[in-house]
Structure 1
Amino acid sequence: MSNFDINSIQDFHVDANFLKYVQIDTESDPNSPTCPSTEKQKNLSRLLVEELLALGIKDAELDENGYVYATIPSNSEKEVPVICFCSHVDTSPDCSGHGVKPLVHKNYQGQDLVLPDDKSIIIKLADHKDLADQIGNDIITASGTTLLGADDKAGVAEIMDAARLLMANPAIKHGTIKILFTPDEEIGRGVDKANLEKLGADFAYTMDGEKAGTIEDETFSADAARLTIHGVSVHPGFAKGKMQNALKIAAEIIQSLPTERLSPESTSKDQGFVHPNNISGAVEKAVIDFIIRDHKTANLQAHVAELEAISKAIIAKYPNCSYELQVKEQYRNMKEVLDQYPQIMEIGVAAITRAGMTAERRSIRGGTDGSRLSFMGLPCPNIFAGGHAFHGKQEWVSVQDMQKAVLTILHVANLWEEKAN
């Protein structure tokens, strides 16, 4: 254990970092073919590079694809594995990230939080049970017209503050620490162009989780499916017995999907689903996009087969119609990789414990950059960043939980050094 008492740190900058970062619009765009998908993401990334360089981290840089790389050199004589901490700079396109006005609600006492720019947006204790753990803490929200951006600017702010503290406190022993900030995580492209050879890390942790004390080593396995329906278009005035409307067929297929199972609205925990998330088209041709999820990768094939069986049965009623179903792999359950490297999770759990919390191992009903990174050769679980109610106007984060995340990062770095030979 380090001779330096990490838990004695009081001079946190994480809240000031966070308040600054969320005011920079970094919303990603799933319809853009570029990387990053929006050039404005680089506005935050450029600032991060400037701040890293100002800390004395000499190799901090932003590449042409919007990735930030930086290295905190080892201060240990041991051979310590190289550890990376990673967060994404983009915010979700599900809710506007333009003009975010963060508000700090000091000394929270359990009241409902009415957001001033749209008083119909109320963060209610009854709906946000984790607020009960925040009595006396300082809660940050947006003003009611945008998301906040805690997903994942909380993680970015925490890594930046931990970097500052590691550079300022050489008594905290650690090996080489790598920092990676990615674009476009919210649209599933977060590590598409990440240069892992350049990064040079052995193991990594994303700071992109929710509740303080949680660490996640399991995600969904994920496929995307596109069902294309070819109908028959005829002038509606002469359509009797001839028209076969692809849009109506698409609606019939969606209506035939299970509702009591295999649906996001009716599943939880380790249950998977087939979820239509976009429909477009006309009489002659319609397209339905699906996301298919399950913690067990082998189940994805069965879910696709059920979707195809439903589609085939519906299309069979329309003899002049046809369909194609295309399936594309998105990411896989990182537990399949992480179980091969138990020390990564053991150190993560120990770090959370040393930071004064009860560690809780969780599964994610979703994915992170860590899912892809793990299968790209960089095993990477997900540590809490403290945000809640992601992707919406009721998003919130606790200042004190972000401080705990900073301490956790420091303990992770120190524990890898402590346990090295």
Structure 2
Amino acid sequence: MSKVVERFLNYIKVNTTSNENSSTTPSTENQLKFAKYLVKELLNIGIKNVYLTEKGYVIAKIPSNTSKNIPNIGFIAHMDTSADALGENINPKIIKEYDGKDIILNKEKNIILSPEEFPELKNYIGEDIITTDGTTLLGADDKAGIAEIVTAMEYIINNPEIKHGNICIGFTPDEEIGRGSDYFDIDDFGADFSYTIDGGKIGELQYENFNAASAKLVIHGKNVHPGSAKNKMINSIMVANEFLNMLPKAEQPEYTENREGFFHLTYFNGNVENTELHFIIRDFNKSNFKYKKQLFENITKFINDKYRKNIAYIEIHDQYYNMKEKILPLQHIIDIAYKAIEESHITPLVNPIRGGTDGARLSFLGMPTPNLFTGGENFHGRYEYIPINSMEKAVEVILKIIDISLKTF
């Protein structure tokens, strides 16, 4: 078994699901436990400058072994996994030389990973694939990224003849709940530019992501006995449905792709008296992003005007922005990664992230940080899988980036 696979299988034994309702950083105790494990591992492979910050960030630095004056380069991945699926008691399966047919993840529960539903599976015929047992997520997002970075760094340490500049490593908590960059000290980290290893399928190179906001809508109704409710009752659930019906139906996630934005209802809870809804708002284009947020404000005002009282309240908070505007002026960062992927005999897939990464906020904080593939597919659910070859290629790309950077500057 290769080192990167062995590491990955060890990492996913620790449940590091983050918790958006927690007020601590990290949001869960197990993330801190995992962080301490990673500190020990980085020290054990020979990195001398490794430390854990007060907020649970793992930072490691490998000093330059060349006289060339080149920029400091960083590699970043996150320790937490999504709460969208169970993240404990993960029982991975290794499918040897995948034959292109259905993969039975769980016979007892009839859970099947099928190429009919997930046609991308056909791209990995003949390869070894790591899957779930159908009851949990796998955790490749982003423990595969961590395993790939650590394995590449171990190779650098064990082969001192490989020349390189200063290399900075960062493992962050709480990326899945949008807090991964909250306490990331880029000055202390010391990289001039970085790459998050947090993408999906093999070959992905991403430097464009959504502009993102969250919205919370609260509606206060008036509960009156239904037998005498005429012209008196205001059913907050029905008002909430009015609000939803005024949003463009075609701009929901299930109807959008590529660079199309969306509104996404993530939470709905209510009764006649009070109803609360949570949304996320996403768009690549800043003007469209602004329009979407304004639409929420306009619909709220319409409802309050209709009922002639303030019964609806909306709170909108920006979360992160499209890092494209911060990265494009530094095209060489993209060029280095693109060349590294090509030299690893992979077809580069330059596409926008229909989501966000730590790199989005880090880019706006002053450290340009595009995103690279881990090799995983179907993140955040029980159908998640990762081809072993893709993980090994990710390690190769990291090493190529280090080498090409040395030659570029």
Same fold flag (TM > 0.5): yes
Is residue 2:317 matched to residue 1:328? yes
| Number of residue equivalences | 409
In the TM superposition, residue 229 of structure 1 has moved relative to its aligned partner by: 2.0
Alpha-carbon distance, 1:321 to partner? 4.5
Aligned to 2:298: 309
1:49 deviation in Å? 0.8
Distance (Å, rounded) in 1 between the aligned partners of 2:201 and 2:393 = 11
The Cα of 1:120 is off from its aligned counterpart by 2.2
**Distance (whole Å) between structure 2 residues aligned to residue 142 and residue 324 of structure 1:** 42
Q: Which amino acid aligns with 1:271?
A: E
**1:194 CA drift (Å):** 1.1
Matched, 1:14 2:7: no
Q: Which residue of 2 aligns with 1:104?
A: 94
Choose from 116, 139, 149 the match for 1:159: 149
User: Quick one: distance in 1 between partners of 2:81 and 2:246?
Assistant: 34
Note if contact 2:60-2:168 (Cα within 8 Å) is conserved in structure 1.
yes
Segment drifting more, 87-96 vs 411-420: 411-420
Q: Return the match for 2:25 from 35, 38, 45.
A: 35
Alpha-carbon displacement from aligned partner over 1:150-197 (angstroms, at most 9, x marks no partner)? 111110110010010010112222111110000111111111111212
Deviation string, structure 1 residues 123-156 (Cα, Å, up to 9, x no partner): 1112222222212211001111110001111101
Q: Does 1:389 align with 2:378?
A: yes
Q: Aligned partners of 1:340, 1:51: CA distance in 2, in Å?
A: 37
Q: 1:272 pairs with 246, 258, 261, which one?
A: 261
Q: Please state whether the residue corresponding to 2:28 is helix, strand or coil.
A: coil
- The reply on whether 1:283 has 2:266 as its aligned counterpart is no
Aligned equivalent of 1:120? 110
Match of 1:54 among 44, 67, 76: 44
**Matching residue's letter, 1:87:** A
Percent of aligned pairs sharing the same letter: 45
> Shift of residue 80 of structure 1?
1.3
Matched letter for residue 376 of structure 2: G
- The separation in 2 between residues aligned to 1:370 and 1:117, in whole angstroms, is 39
Query: What residue in structure 2 maps to residue 5 of structure 1?
Result: none
Distance 2:309 2:333 in 1: 56
Give the Cα separation in 2 of the matches to 1:160 and 1:229: 49
Partner secondary structure for residue 233 of structure 2: coil
- Report the 3-state secondary structure (helix = DSSP H, G, I; strand = E; otherwise coil) of the residue aligned with 2:7: helix
Match status 1:181 vs 2:171: yes
More displaced 10-residue stretch of structure 1: 359-368 or 261-270: 261-270
- Answer yes or no: is the 8 Å Cα contact 1:214–1:361 preserved in 2: yes
CA distance in 1, matches of 2:269, 2:3: 47
**What is the deviation of 1:117?**
6.2
Cα drift, residue 236 of structure 1: 4.5
C-alpha distance in structure 1 between counterparts of 2:108 and 2:133, whole Å:
7
Q: Aligned residue for 1:294?
A: 283
Q: Does 1:418 align with 2:407?
A: yes
Separation of aligned partners in 1, 2:105 and 2:38: 29
Q: How does 1:59-138 map to 2 (within 5 A)?
A: 59-116=49-106, 118-138=108-128
- Segments of structure 2 that go 5 or more residues without pairing to the other structure are none
Shift in alpha-carbon separation, 1:291–1:103, aligned structure 2, 3 A:
same
- Structure 2: which amino acid aligns with 1:155? G
User: What root-mean-square deviation, in Å, do the aligned CA atoms of Structure 1 and Structure 2 show?
Assistant: 1.6
SS in 1 for 2:251: coil
Partner of 2:331: 342
Q: 1:237: Cα distance to partner? A: 5.2
In 2, the alpha carbon distance for the partners of 1:135 and 1:75 equals 41
1:247-282 CA-partner distances (Å, limit 9, x unpaired): 2211221133221x2221211111111222112344
Question: Which amino acid counterpart does residue 300 of structure 1 have in structure 2?
Answer: F
Q: Distance in 2 between matches of 1:42 and 1:117?
A: 35
What's the CA shift for 1:232?
2.4
Q: Return the alpha-carbon distance in structure 2 between the equivalents of residues 76 and 128 of structure 1.
A: 46
TM-score by length of 1: 0.94
- 390 and 128 in structure 1: CA distance in 2 versus 1, 3 angstrom threshold: same
| CA distances 1:333-380 after superposition (whole Å, capped 9, x unpaired) | 010100111010000001101111111211111111111110111100
Checking the alignment, whether the CA contact within 8 Å between 1:214 and 1:359 is kept in structure 2 is yes
Shift of 1:416: 0.9
In 1, distance between residues paired with 2:225 and 2:50? Answer: 62
* 1:56 shift after superposition: 1.3
1:278 alignment partner, SS class: strand
Q: Which runs of 5+ in 1 are unaligned?
A: 1-10
What's the CA shift for 1:290?
A: 1.4
Q: Which residue of 2 aligns with 1:399?
A: 388
- Which residue number corresponds to residue 195 of structure 1? 185
C-alpha separation between the residues in 2 aligned to 1:277 and 1:132? 32
For 2:215, the aligned partner's letter is: A
Q: Which moved more, 1:320-329 or 1:37-46?
A: 320-329
Aligned residue type for 1:71 = K
Query: Shift of residue 295 of structure 1?
Result: 0.4
SS of the residue 1:218 aligns to:
coil
Q: In structure 2, what is the Cα distance between the partners aligned to 1:293 and 1:318?
A: 29
